C-alpha cells in the first residue's frame, strides 16, 4: 500500500512566502504543525492508502485529464482557516484568481478516478494551500489573529502540470516523493 495524493505544485516564490510566514509568525509553532516550504502544494485529491495494482489505472486517469487541460494562471492572495475561528484546524493561503479552473480540475480528476473505482469526494472542494494544522486540536492558536491579518503581495503562478505524490509519514513530518508528473498538453 502506498499513501497517495494528486496536487498542483507551487513555485519557489510561494515556498519563500510559506517560509516568511513561519519566520514572521514563529509563535504559531506553539500550536501549529507548519508545512515545510518545499512541501507546499495545492491538493486536488487525497487518495490515501492505495494498493499498488491500482496505480497504473490512477496514472491513466490523471493523464486523461491533464492531456485535455490548457495551462492557466491563478493567484495566491490571502490567509484563512478551516473550519472557523472558534475551532481552527487548518491554516491556509487562499487563491483569489483561477479558483474556478482549479475547482473544475479537481472535479474532472474526481470523475475520472471514480471510473477506476475510487470514491468521489463527499465534501465540496475549496481551492487553498495548507500551511499548517492545529497540533493539539485546541480552540486557541497563539498568533492566529496575526496570521489572519497577515498581508503579502499577491503571487501569480501558472498551473501547467499535476503531480501524483506518495506521502510517507515520518517522525520529522511527511516526506513527499513524486511518482509521476502530468503536463497540461491541450
Catalytic positions are 41, 128
Q: Per-residue DSSP letters for 48-78? A: EEE-GGGHHHHHHHHHHHHTT---EEEEEEE
- Residue keyed to cell 510566514: 21
CA 175, 177, 181 angle in degrees (round to 5)?
150
CB 66 within 8 A of CB 162: yes
- Strand 32-34's sheet: what is its strand order? 32-34, 128-134, 87-97, 72-84, 155-159
Amino acid at each position: 500500500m502506498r499513501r497517495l495524493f494528486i496536487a498542483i505544485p507551487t513555485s519557489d516564490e510561494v515556498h519563500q512566502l510559506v517560509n516568511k510566514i513561519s519566520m514572521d509568525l514563529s509563535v504559531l509553532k506553539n500550536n501549529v504543525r507548519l508545512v515545510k516550504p518545499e512541501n507546499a502544494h495545492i491538493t486536488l485529491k487525497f487518495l490515501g492508502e492505495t494498493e499498488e495494482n491500482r496505480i497504473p489505472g490512477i496514472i491513466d486517469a490523471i493523464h486523461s485529464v491533464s492531456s485535455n487541460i490548457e495551462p492557466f494562471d491563478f493567484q495566491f492572495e490571502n490567509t484563512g482557516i478551516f473550519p472557523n475561528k472558534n475551532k481552527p484546524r487548518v491554516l491556509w493561503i487562499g487563491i483569489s484568481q483561477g479558483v474556478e479552473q482549479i475547482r473544475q480540475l479537481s472535479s474532472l480528476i474526481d470523475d475520472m478516478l471514480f471510473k477506476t473505482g475510487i470514491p468521489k469526494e463527499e465534501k465540496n472542494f475549496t481551492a487553498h494551500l495548507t500551511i499548517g494544522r492545529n497540533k493539539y486540536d485546541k480552540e486557541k492558536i497563539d498568533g492566529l489573529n496575526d496570521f489572519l491579518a497577515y498581508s503579502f503581495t499577491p503571487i501569480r503562478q501558472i498551473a501547467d502540470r499535476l503531480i501524483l505524490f506518495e506521502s510517507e509519514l515520518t517522525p520529522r513530518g511527511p516526506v513527499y516523493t513524486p511518482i509521476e508528473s502530468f503536463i497540461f498538453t491541450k
